[in-house]
Amino acid sequence: MIVTVTPNPSLDRTYELPELARGEVNRATGDRLDPGGKGVNVARALTAAGHRTAAVLPLGGAPGRLLAELLHRQDIDVAAVPVSGDTRINVSIVERGGPLTKVNAPGPRLTPEESAALLAAVRRQAAGADVDWLACCGSLPRGLAPEWYADLVAEAHLGGARIAVDASGPALLAALAAGPDVVKPNREELSEAVGQPIATLGEALDAAHRLRELGAQQVLASLGADGMLLVAEEGAWYGTAPVDEVRSDVGAGDASLAGFLSAGGIGPKALASALAHGAAAVRLPGSVMPIPADLEPDTVVVTADVPRELPLGR
């Protein structure tokens, strides 16, 4: 069993356009409505891979009820914490062959009582004897302090589970001090965490080592089209997975984390699984999570010989 925690879930509406014309009426060639939020996406990808999952998340209003219904349709157990504010609705605009434009709503403000209830729900889920991993992902809603993720790390370890944290800014730094089993920053989040720009793979490697010094047991760094980097006590590995055409990169990092956890969450084999899942996700529309048939593991390359001078930013 893998439990995901999404403090600020969403409904994700995605529109596909030939080209976005600002200030004009744009007609979509396709649209989707998917359950959203980083932890929710991880749960969806894990379920698609055949793993038992439970999703802990605060839900409010009609959007919250619809989100729960969509997750139930995908055979995901929902541990819902009722909140007074409405669950947010995010909008993504995907231009064919062009950039992705996202508008993320702030979401509800959680009261101290709702914050405590959410943490209690995680505590109940983490206490299960068959829970192997907790994956805590995404931005914190208004009302939750950055230290909330650090509290989650402590709760997971008390329950005997390993914990993965995908957060940024002060929340990531607070979680590091609690010793998470793995953190999954992207390049920008990695740079922000160490307070230095990252232009080469070597600089990303040094930054990942710094996050380990701050408390993370493993660092799984997502570098976009440049691949992924895994740094652990046992060593460091770098991997790439080719993608001929990017349809949507919404949720690709979440699919990567799901792939990493589904393969055991440690070492180069887990990194290869992360890369295969991430590459499959960007070939799919909206925030659709890949199923095993979408994966192309034979195209993934992982090496312990990290090319430090490789420039990033492709």
Q: Which residues are catalytic?
A: 254
Between CA 11 and CA 64 the distance in angstroms is: 8
Do 53 and 135 meet the contact criterion of CB atoms below 8 Å apart? no
Give CA separation, 9 vs 39, 51, 83, in Å. Answer: 8, 21, 12
Q: Tell me which residue has tokens 């070939």.
A: 283
Assign 273 to helix, strand or coil: helix
The amino acid sitting at 305 is D
Assign 79 to helix, strand or coil: strand
Q: Tell me which residue has tokens 């914990």.
A: 163
Output the CA torsion 59→62→67→68 (10° steps). 70
